[in-house]
Copies of this chain bind each other. A is one copy, B any other.
Amino acid sequence: MSEETKNDQELNEEQPKVDNEETVEEVFAEEPQEEQATDELSELQAKLDESENRYLRLRADFDNFRRRINAENEAKEKYRSQALITELLPALDNFERALNIEADNDQTKTLLQGMEMVHRSLIEALKKEGVEAIDAVGQEFDPHMHQAVMQTEDEAYGSNVVVEEFQKGYKLKDRVIRPSMVKVNQ
């Protein structure tokens, strides 16, 4: 081995050793700092992503809630008086039955006229809320509107046509709240 070679070897063994030590020190001093920073960064980024996702999910929930509530409220508003109307219908039936007499004296005639006006104003008030009687006699039988409680064979009417109404049916806007009770032609 020449001195040079030996020296080279020493260089390769010692100098690099010092260099290595420095590098190692630097690696231990800097790499963790960098790693730490990178860790912190990716941790923060993950937190940010999660936070953003949480926000987006909440906004979607909020939007869905608002949409659902609006649809529900629209329906509630549309049929708001259904419970009261349903309770009023039997009284209306009896009212119409009571009006259905033939007056045999003036006082009854006057009372009947007054009561007919009262009846008309009740119907008018219900109409303003969207209540209407269902057409029955002469109409084609419609199972959504009419409830067949009797059948008949009448050549004066077409097949499947309502020939008699036993109880008036009512709709509240587009909703049948009580079907007509009818007799249908076969």
Contact = CB atoms under 8 A, between A and B. Distances in A.
Contacts of A8: 7
B129 A83 contact: yes
Interface size class of A (residues with CB under 8 A): 35 or more
A108 B90 CA distance: 22
A183 to B, nearest CB: 26
Given A51-B51, A55-B54, A111 B114 contact: no
A131 to B, nearest CB: 9
A114 B98 contact: yes
A117 interface: yes
A62 B51 contact: no
A155 interface: no
Count copies of this chain in the complex: 2
Contacts of A91: 118, 121-122, 124-125
Contacts of A44: 41, 44-45, 48
Interface string A73-86: 10011001101110
A80 B62 CA distance: 26
Contacts of A85: 84
Interface stretch (A29-37, A140-148, A159-167): A29-37
A19 B66 CA distance: 67
A61 interface: yes
B40 A90 contact: no
A30 B32 CA distance: 13
B76 A129 contact: no
18 contacts: A3-B4, A7-B11, A19-B19, A26-B30, A33-B34, A41-B41, A44-B44, A44-B45, A51-B51, A51-B52, A55-B58, A81-B83, A84-B126, A88-B125, A91-B118, A97-B114, A111-B111, A115-B115
